[in-house]
Structure 1
């Protein structure tokens, strides 16, 4: 039976570069099956966006038979979606290995769809809110980065 994961990813950096975090939510049949928010240290927003995509795809590979799985990826990063679609070149040296890692993971799946959506998209806004709460707690010293 064919599986389908719906993935919402986001990355944030307070300053660019600055304290950064990545997050994702993964849905199957309308149910949240996985999600995470994690600290990236001092990095760029693009690094955080890519790291979210990679961690979400790693979860999908680990928890499915990828050649029998479809993935629909939603991100508010026009750059990341454009690069993964092959529409934009990857120029930043620090991003190239992340891009290659994402492409390698994507190649494992039966089908992949990319969706560049505004931050106001419900899935993206949920992840974005979690990222900002997480970064606020780091800045207030409530959790360590």
Structure 2
């Protein structure tokens, strides 16, 4: 069974600086969709939504590689935003909701990462640079994940 991380690593390998559509994109997208944690899964844990966001973001990005909808990059970015918001909300504790999230460190990191990815795509940054930056941002966000969440 593939892990979410190995599925994402494989997806990066499909990206191309040439702009050509890799024939394996559709197959990889289907394999990644099988990794999506399901709400009814008995192995569901509090942090499963983060894995959902990660997989969904990569699936949308793969759609871009395979002649996808022009909105796919927006949906990929939205998944990063949703993951950051989820982290903020679980850190707030049960029965709490944080309305203003733009100044919370995890959201600032996520938004800066989205902005950098979009800027990199516009100027034609090569895929190894894009991957390195995405992994850097992901590591920064992962460092802010709570080891345990009180009240849950």
The TM-score, its normalising length taken from structure 1, stands at 0.30
Q: Which has the higher helix share?
A: 2
TM-score (normalised: structure 2)? 0.29
- Higher Rg of the two aligned structures: 2
Give the number of the structure whose residues are more often strand, by fraction: 1
